[in-house]
Amino acid sequence: MCGFLVYASKSTNFFINKYDKNKILNSQKHRGPDKSNVLKIDNVYFFHNRLKIIDLSNNANQPFISQYTGNIIVFNGEIYNFRELKKKIKNIKFKSESDTEVLLYLYEKYGDNFVKLLNGMFSIVIYNKKKNKIFSARDRFGIKPLFLYKNSNEIIYSTEIKPIILINKKIHPDHLEIKKYIATGLLYSNEKTFFQNICFHKQSYFYNFSLKKWNFFNKSQYWKLKKINRLVCGSFKNFYKVFLIKFRNSIKLNLVSDVEVGLLYSSGVDSNFIKNFINLDLKKENKNFYLWME
């Protein structure tokens, strides 16, 4: 888990003072206590709080700048297949062992559709310096948060709402949405929040925002859930075998980490199912494993 905020203004001479920079960083410090950075390029500010999971060195700190194009990425999440994807990128001298750097160069090689290659959970924002645009994407099921705020002069991307309100103190609660939630316990829109003009970035979508024309373009859904028919596998026995293989592979991918692995579980059937697979795999790899029982 990391925290970030990207703030862009129409004005080229705007400035955020040191006190406000610290307030913005501190508002998401709990998401990433290991390293905090601020960067301003052109008329765009980047704030990032890092939690080190992959590549514990400072070479993987964010915001991360492409040494070839000057493009900049901030990213929250984990890409489980980044080492396999890294092999697809040729003639690049990597300076880290992080999934962040792989994401940036995948974008530069494949364009917007690189997100289709990713296996993981993520919220991504990339500033394309040459095209003067901002690319953003959220994972298939919306595991990682990403919020958006836009008006006629500024646009903000953030992993939490709190720092957005620190920047724009004129944002007010959306009382209608709050009333609906209190009455039903539901949010009727998968985009609206409890604050006016702050919305969720849609899951399984990528957006492009032109800083020149000041509008969104090429909003695209890159993935849809497909229903798998059990009969495709033939018998129930074969279906169960396929499920076990996919389930185990999914668990192994979630264990990709340069730090200790922990599991908080409730002792139910599903938790024990996961625990048993993890124990088998970690014993083979001689990794440390920690359990917390609810």
Distances (CA, A) of 55 to 6, 96, 233, 256: 23, 7, 39, 11
Condensed to tens digits (0 to 9), the pLDDT of residues 158-168 reads 999 999 999 99
pLDDT of residue 123: 98
Contacts of 270 (CB under 8 A, 6+ apart): none
Question: 63 and 203: one domain?
Answer: yes
Instruction: Please say which residue of 221, 250, 280 terminates a domain.
Output: 221
For residue 286, name the pLDDT band (cuts at 50, 70, 90).
low
In terms of Cα–Cα distance, which of 191, 240, 238, 241 is closest to 216? 191
In terms of Cα–Cα distance, which of 67, 70, 20 is closest to 47? 20
In terms of Cα–Cα distance, which of 116, 113, 118, 61 is closest to 86? 118
pLDDT of residue 53: 92
Question: 189 and 269: one domain?
Answer: no
Condensed to tens digits (0 to 9), the pLDDT of residues 121-131 reads 999 999 999 99
pTM reported for the whole predicted model: 0.90
Question: 201 and 257: one domain?
Answer: no
Question: Does the pLDDT value for residue 136 go beyond 70?
Answer: yes
- The 10 Å Cβ neighbour count of residue 41 is 14
Domain span including residue 167: 3-221
Question: 40 and 79: one domain?
Answer: yes
Instruction: Please say which residue of 221, 250, 273 terminates a domain.
Output: 221
CATH number at residue 203: 3.60.20.10
Question: 96 and 142: one domain?
Answer: yes
Task: Specify the number of domains making up the chain.
Answer: 2
Condensed to tens digits (0 to 9), the pLDDT of residues 168-220 reads 989 999 999 999 899 988 776 778 999 999 999 999 999 999 999 999 999 99
Distances (CA, A) of 180 to 83, 86, 171, 186, 199: 45, 46, 19, 7, 16
Q: Identity (one letter) of the amino acid at 223?
A: W
Alpha-helical (H) ranges within the chain are 18-26, 82-86, 99-110, 162-167, 175-184, 236-254, 269-285
Mean pLDDT of the chain: 89
Q: Lowest-confidence range among 34-43, 82-91, 252-261?
A: 252-261
DSSP H helix total and E strand total for the chain? 7, 14
Q: How far apart are CA 201 and CA 146, in angstroms?
A: 6
For residue 264, name the pLDDT band (cuts at 50, 70, 90).
confident
Question: 209 and 275: one domain?
Answer: no
pLDDT of residue 270: 77
CA 239 and chain centroid, separation: 32
Question: 216 and 242: one domain?
Answer: no
Q: How far apart are CA 80 and CA 75, in angstroms?
A: 14
Condensed to tens digits (0 to 9), the pLDDT of residues 15-48 reads 888 889 999 999 999 999 999 999 999 999 999 9
Q: Lowest-confidence range among 51-55, 100-104, 153-157, 289-293?
A: 289-293
Question: 130 and 106: one domain?
Answer: yes
Question: 92 and 213: one domain?
Answer: yes
pLDDT of residue 284: 56
Residue 193, CA atoms < 13 Å, CB-side half-sphere: 21
pLDDT of residue 19: 86
Question: Does the pLDDT value for residue 12 go beyond 80?
Answer: no
For residue 83, name the pLDDT band (cuts at 50, 70, 90).
very high
pLDDT of residue 130: 95
CB 233 within 8 A of CB 227: no
Question: Does the pLDDT value for residue 283 go beyond 60?
Answer: no
pLDDT of residue 247: 83
3-state secondary structure 227-292: CCCHHHHCCHHHHHHHHHHHHHHHHHHHCCCCCCEEEEECCCHHHHHHHHHHHHHHHHHCCCEEEE
Question: 13 and 139: one domain?
Answer: yes
Question: CA angle, corner 157, sides to 185 and 197, nearest 5?
Answer: 50
Instruction: Please say which residue of 221, 244, 267 terminates a domain.
Output: 221
pLDDT of residue 244: 82
Q: How far apart are CA 265 and CA 268, in angstroms?
A: 8
Question: 148 and 258: one domain?
Answer: no
Question: 237 and 171: one domain?
Answer: no
